[in-house]
Chains A and B, each alone.
Chain A
Amino acid sequence: MRSALERLSEGLALARGAVERGGGLAPRELAALAERHGAHPDQVARYAELLGSREEVEGMLGAREGDVMRTLRANTLRVDRDELASRLEAKGASVRPYRHTPYGLVVEESPIPLAAYHEHLLGLFYIQGPASMLPVLALSPEGASRIADAAAGVGGKATQISQHNPRSPVIALDVSERKLMALKANASRLGAFNIVAYLMDARGIGSLGEFDRVLLDAPCTGEGLMPFARGRRPRPQGEVESAARVQVELLESALRSLGPGGELVYSTCSTNFEENELVVHSVLEALEDSGAGHFSLVDTGLDFGDAGAVEYAGISLPSQFRLCRRFYPHRHATEGFTICRIRRS
Chain B
Amino acid sequence: MPDKAVLRRCTREELDLIRSEVLCHSSGGLVGLDVLCAGAPGSGCVEVLAVHPSASAEALGGGRPPFLAGVHAARICGGRVEPLMGLLSALWGGIDRGYLIVDERAEAVFLYGRDVLPRGVIRRSPSPCGTYAVLNRRREPLGWARRRGRVYANLVDAGWYLRSGLRGRGRPLCLITAQDSANTASRARPIHAPT
**Chain A residues within CB distance 8 Å of chain B:** 78, 115-116, 118, 121-123, 146, 154, 166-171, 177-200, 207-209
Q: List the B side residues contacting A186 at CB < 8 Å.
A: 167
**Residue B133 interfacial (CB < 8 Å):** no
**Residue B14 interfacial (CB < 8 Å):** no
Tell whether, in the assembled complex, residue A188 and residue B54 are in contact, meaning their CB atoms are under 8 Å apart: no
Q: Which listed residue, A166, A167, A188, A194, touches B72 by the CB 8 Å rule?
A: A188
Tell whether, in the assembled complex, residue A115 and residue B162 are in contact, meaning their CB atoms are under 8 Å apart: yes
Tell whether, in the assembled complex, residue B71 and residue A181 are in contact, meaning their CB atoms are under 8 Å apart: no
A114 to chain B, nearest CB (A): 11
State A189–B73 Cα separation when bound (angstroms): 11
Scan residues 39-89 of chain B and give those whose CB is less than 8 A from a CB of chain A: 50-52, 54-55, 57-59, 62-64, 66-72, 84-86, 89
**Residue B170 interfacial (CB < 8 Å):** yes
Q: Which listed residue, B54, B108, B136, B168, touches A181 by the CB 8 Å rule?
A: B168
State A154–B107 Cα separation when bound (angstroms): 27
**Residue B142 interfacial (CB < 8 Å):** yes
Given contacts A178-B168, A182-B168, contact A121 B159 (CB under 8 A): yes
Apart from A181-B168, A191-B71, A193-B70, what are 17 other A-B pairs with CB-CB below 8 Å? A118-B108, A166-B52, A169-B57, A177-B175, A180-B67, A184-B168, A187-B68, A188-B85, A189-B158, A191-B89, A193-B52, A193-B90, A196-B55, A196-B66, A196-B69, A196-B70, A200-B64
State A191–B51 Cα separation when bound (angstroms): 10
**Chain B residues within CB distance 8 Å of chain A:** 33, 50-52, 54-55, 57-59, 62-64, 66-72, 84-86, 89-90, 92, 107-108, 111, 136, 140-142, 158-159, 161-162, 166-170, 172-175
Q: List the A side residues contacting B68 at CB < 8 Å.
A: 180, 183-184, 187, 195-197
State A239–B168 Cα separation when bound (angstroms): 29
State A186–B33 Cα separation when bound (angstroms): 18
B176 to chain A, nearest CB (A): 9
B105 to chain A, nearest CB (A): 12
Q: Which listed residue, B84, B167, B175, touches A154 by the CB 8 Å rule?
A: B167
State A265–B104 Cα separation when bound (angstroms): 43
- Closest Cβ neighbor of A116 among chain B residues: B162
Tell whether, in the assembled complex, residue A207 and residue B64 are in contact, meaning their CB atoms are under 8 Å apart: yes
Given contacts A121-B161, A154-B168, A185-B167, contact A194 B89 (CB under 8 A): no
Q: Which listed residue, A169, A185, A208, touches B161 by the CB 8 Å rule?
A: A185
State A207–B62 Cα separation when bound (angstroms): 10
Q: List the A side residues contacting B50 at CB < 8 Å.
A: 193
Tell whether, in the assembled complex, residue B107 and residue A184 are in contact, meaning their CB atoms are under 8 Å apart: no
Tell whether, in the assembled complex, residue A193 and residue B51 are in contact, meaning their CB atoms are under 8 Å apart: yes
Q: List the A side residues contacting B59 at CB < 8 Å.
A: 196
Tell whether, in the assembled complex, residue B172 and residue A187 are in contact, meaning their CB atoms are under 8 Å apart: no
Q: List the B side residues contacting A208 at CB < 8 Å.
A: 62, 64
- Closest Cβ neighbor of A167 among chain B residues: B54
State A274–B186 Cα separation when bound (angstroms): 52
State A123–B169 Cα separation when bound (angstroms): 19
Which of A78, A121, A189, A196 has the most B CB atoms < 10 Å from its CB?
Answer: A196
- Closest Cβ neighbor of A123 among chain B residues: B89
Which of A167, A169, A208, A209 has the most B CB atoms < 10 Å from its CB?
Answer: A169
Q: Which listed residue, A122, A170, A171, touches B142 by the CB 8 Å rule?
A: A122
Given contacts A193-B52, A196-B66, contact A171 B58 (CB under 8 A): yes
State A182–B107 Cα separation when bound (angstroms): 25
